[in-house]
Amino acid sequence: MESYVTGLRCAGCGHGLPVQYALSCPRCGGLLELEYDLERMAGLPRDRLSGPGIWRYAFALPVRDPAHRVSLGEGNTPLYDCPRLAEAIGVRKLWLKFEGTNPTGTVKDRTSATAVSAAREFGYKAIGVVSTGNAGSSLATYGTRAGLRTFIFCYERGSQPKLNHMAACASDLVFYRGVYDDMIGVFDRLVDEGLVFDGGASRNPFKHEGKKTIAYEVAEQLGWAVPDFFVAPVGVGETFIASYRGFRELAAMGWTAGVPRMVAAQSAVANPIVRAWREGGDLVPQRIGYTVAEGVAVGNPDAKGRYVLDILRREGGLAGDAADADIVAAQKLVARTEGIWAGPTGVVTVAVLRNLVRAGQVPSAARVVCMVTETGLKGEYPPIHPEGIVPDYEAVKKLVMARLGGFPA
Amino acid sequence: MESYVTGLRCAGCGHGLPVQYALSCPRCGGLLELEYDLERMAGLPRDRLSGPGIWRYAFALPVRDPAHRVSLGEGNTPLYDCPRLAEAIGVRKLWLKFEGTNPTGTVKDRTSATAVSAAREFGYKAIGVVSTGNAGSSLATYGTRAGLRTFIFCYERGSQPKLNHMAACASDLVFYRGVYDDMIGVFDRLVDEGLVFDGGASRNPFKHEGKKTIAYEVAEQLGWAVPDFFVAPVGVGETFIASYRGFRELAAMGWTAGVPRMVAAQSAVANPIVRAWREGGDLVPQRIGYTVAEGVAVGNPDAKGRYVLDILRREGGLAGDAADADIVAAQKLVARTEGIWAGPTGVVTVAVLRNLVRAGQVPSAARVVCMVTETGLKGEYPPIHPEGIVPDYEAVKKLVMARLGGFPA
């Protein structure tokens, strides 16, 4: 299917540009966003969509030449109706949008698909990113699959499962010491000189755009309807903004009746959005502490952070945070009630929803979708060293019967 | 869609039974298989299939009441066309059927779906399995999701990522010491007494059946065609036999023109099928050594093993094995050529294919599908402790330019 992209527009000053690889507004330096011919898109046959992975929604994505589109079957992730979890949390209806079934186990695969495809469209042979894990392994996977060189700049002490993954899939894995902020400065200069295509989360609108498909999928899975609340995690803000933009487009096209109330979920030790939202002021960059939710450990989300705040204020959204203990408890609750194994970053939304329900900010009659951005398989957990029982039939039978409540010995 | 199941039949003596929960032939003790009304199935609209997960093919599955069918979106996994890998291995066309996008990252989710659904259909409140990892975490996920008690009997020294996963999702995780063979004897007695529904791989035809959908998916993804060769791993033999049965049904229904040549892939230190196939005799149980491919570490596949051998001999199949070094090399090759991160068990098929091509047993003109049964995210790998570079712009730029081959310093 053809792309209906028409151009770029600055989210700050409104300046418009034709479709091109640009990372900031030439007038004001603001964030650039992609625009589409929504009027023509409205007439597309929404009940006969097809295509591999996120390219099911190729009309709403910015890669024009189908030959440039790479897919590993990302997206089309399940939307789990979770009645037991809903009851435990105290809302009428709760769905989890589980991104753990993506090829590398995280939501990042959606943006890797559009970033790598755009790199091909603009003639690049190499793509890069600075990452401690999920983004790096995802981009390495997609870049390699598309035949590009992949420069993954990785913190030397990243988590082992992710280091192994990146080491296997990246053509060029470069470890660095020091802090992310130093490396990102170096990386941005490489990008600005055109040595590698920008696979980072903060500037490139073509990369960002892949996550917009979350909104399209959720709406389609609900029969072209939207929930009352949509809870998305906020680190840099990519998932939140992209989902919101998707819901906005769908409403503008008349495919859905409106947009959900957006809820920004953060870790309590990396919560600049939540603070500004509660206190009513500007975004204040923050020196962050350790959080189990490493994917949202961002103290200065910068331009995208301000944009998130803007959406929350303009649209009557909500923001909330959760302590590490709440996040770990949410991870267990999701696993024990619904059998779904998600990582700590993935369940920040669930922990935050629980807090907001308790505080009365989300009503019990609400119908809610929580993004769950990653599988639990990529985490590092405290080792378990159990002592097993000896396989003796009578002893095991007694144990099983006692637990089942029948004929306890 | 309705199920077209008609009964059970013994794979050994041919004795038939009505549909019921039975684990062996009452006449000869042989393996039971499910049968379907293939004539009526042939008339189904194969190009308008739908339904969640593997229930897209509900007509060919044995769960009659849709209310009993549990799905977490398993199946519908990508079939990757891999031109670079095909070239490296020396075959004309190679696809990988990548099971890593299943909810728990392995092919086991297909059988967990049918096992748990059948447990509900037969009125069971608890299901169980003996497992060191993948099967246990998958069954815990599906059982919990369906509201059943899940008794997972797990070896006390299983791999950490899998222990964590099972500990989170199982209602009743019971660790044992000693060897699998001791525990499976105890477990089978619990099953025979009706305390838990059988979630194991060796006897229950309802559990086995879920993997048949692999063949249906591959055929559908190839436009209702089959490859020349289909390479499946053999531990107990469940994946191999179920795939074969699926291909047979499709051909009998006239949906495909024939069945692929089946290739049984084993680890060189756990290769009873390969030995018997090479030497022409009976299956000889084997004392196995350590292999990185822990999912196929089976020395005595017993009845299913003999069935695999039977299929190979009757249908002109092939069997091959690969040493651990070959398997690890195949894992790296798949990652570096196509960006796909699979576990060692997952790539046994690729390693074996490479050996068979080198030996001239698979011709270079062949069109081959290899099953890749698991993601790489569940493995334990040797730790990496890299020393990072200092983020200095000029140094990093020089490094990138040198690697890109432009203006080397």
Please give the full DSSP string across B275-303, using - where no structure is assigned. Answer: HHHHH-S----------S-GGG--S--HH
Q: Which of A101, A391, A401 sits opposite B195 (nearest CB)?
A: A401
Q: Which residue did the predictor score with more confidence, A68 or B290?
A: A68
Contact between B137 and A340 under an 8 Å Cβ cutoff? The reply is no
Once rounded to an integer, what is the mean pLDDT over residues B325-351? 97
Helix (H, G, I), strand (E, B) or coil at B184: helix
pLDDT surpasses 50 at B409: no
Q: In what helix (H) or strand (E) does residue B243 lie, and over which residues does it extend? A: helix B238-253
**CATH architecture observed for domain B76-378:** 3-Layer(aba) Sandwich (3.40)
Check CB contact of A144 with chain B, cutoff 8 Å: yes
Check CB contact of B13 with chain A, cutoff 8 Å: no
Residue labelled with tokens 């997972």 = B152
CA-based nearest distance B16→chain A, Å = 32
Query: pLDDT-based confidence at A409, cuts 50/70/90?
Result: very low
CA distance A343 to A105: 10
Phi, psi of A257 (to 5 degrees): -85, -15
Once rounded to an integer, what is the mean pLDDT over residues B315-341? 97
Q: Which of A175, A190, A389 sits opposite B176 (nearest CB)?
A: A389
CA distance B209 to B36: 12
What are the chain A neighbours of B386 within 8 Å (beta carbons)? 156, 163, 175
Q: What is the mean pLDDT of chain B?
A: 95
pLDDT surpasses 90 at A255: yes
pLDDT surpasses 50 at A120: yes
Q: What is the pLDDT of residue B408?
A: 42
Q: B-contacting residues of A 104-143, CB under 8 Å?
A: 104-105, 125-126, 128, 137, 140-143
> Which has the closest alpha carbon to A80: A346, A354, A325?
A346
Q: A-contacting residues of B 237-296, CB under 8 Å?
A: none
Query: pLDDT-based confidence at B60, cuts 50/70/90?
Result: very high
Q: What is the pLDDT of residue B406?
A: 63
Q: B-contacting residues of A 52-91, CB under 8 Å?
A: 72-73, 76-78, 80, 84
| CATH number assigned to the domain with residue range A79-105+208-378, chosen from the 4 options 3.40.50.1100, 3.10.20.30, 3.40.50.880, 3.90.1640.10 | 3.40.50.1100
Contact between A36 and A16 under an 8 Å Cβ cutoff? The reply is no
pLDDT surpasses 60 at B144: yes
Q: Are A377 and B80 in contact (CB < 8 Å)? A: no
pLDDT surpasses 70 at B69: yes
Q: What is the pLDDT of residue A45?
A: 96
Check CB contact of A48 with chain B, cutoff 8 Å: no
Check CB contact of A379 with chain B, cutoff 8 Å: yes
Q: Are B377 and A105 in contact (CB < 8 Å)? A: yes
pLDDT in tens, A28-87: 999 999 999 999 999 999 999 999 999 999 999 999 999 999 999 999 999 999 999 999
CA distance A102 to B205: 30
> Which has the closest alpha carbon to B301: B288, B314, B291?
B288
CA distance A34 to B407: 35
What are the chain B neighbours of A199 within 8 Å (beta carbons)? none
Once rounded to an integer, what is the mean pLDDT over residues A333-356? 97
Q: What is the pLDDT of residue A159?
A: 82
Once rounded to an integer, what is the mean pLDDT over residues A77-99? 98
What are the chain B neighbours of A165 within 8 Å (beta carbons)? 341, 376-377
CA distance B174 to B167: 9
pLDDT in tens, B216-256: 999 999 999 999 999 999 999 999 999 999 999 999 999 99
Once rounded to an integer, what is the mean pLDDT over residues A365-376? 97
Complete DSSP assignment for A6-71: EEEEETTT--EE-S---SS-TTT---EEEEE-HHHHTTS-GGG---SGGGGGGGGSS---GGG---
Q: What is the pLDDT of residue B395?
A: 93
Once rounded to an integer, what is the mean pLDDT over residues A81-100? 98
Q: In what helix (H) or strand (E) does residue A5 lie, and over which residues does it extend? A: strand A5-10
What are the chain A neighbours of B116 within 8 Å (beta carbons)? none
CA-based nearest distance B19→chain A, Å = 27
Q: What is the pLDDT of residue A406?
A: 63
Q: What is the pLDDT of residue B181?
A: 80
If you count residue pairs, one on A and one on B, with CB atoms under 8 Å apart, how many are there?
Answer: 240
Check CB contact of B365 with chain A, cutoff 8 Å: no
What is the share, in percent, of chain A residues with pLDDT greater than 90? 89
pLDDT in tens, A17-29: 999 999 999 999 9
Q: What is the pLDDT of residue A301?
A: 92
Q: Are B177 and A400 in contact (CB < 8 Å)? A: no
Q: Are B72 and A195 in contact (CB < 8 Å)? A: no
Which ipTM did the prediction report?
0.94
Q: Are A168 and B377 in contact (CB < 8 Å)? A: no
Contact between A109 and A142 under an 8 Å Cβ cutoff? The reply is yes
In chain B, where are the structural domains located? 76-378
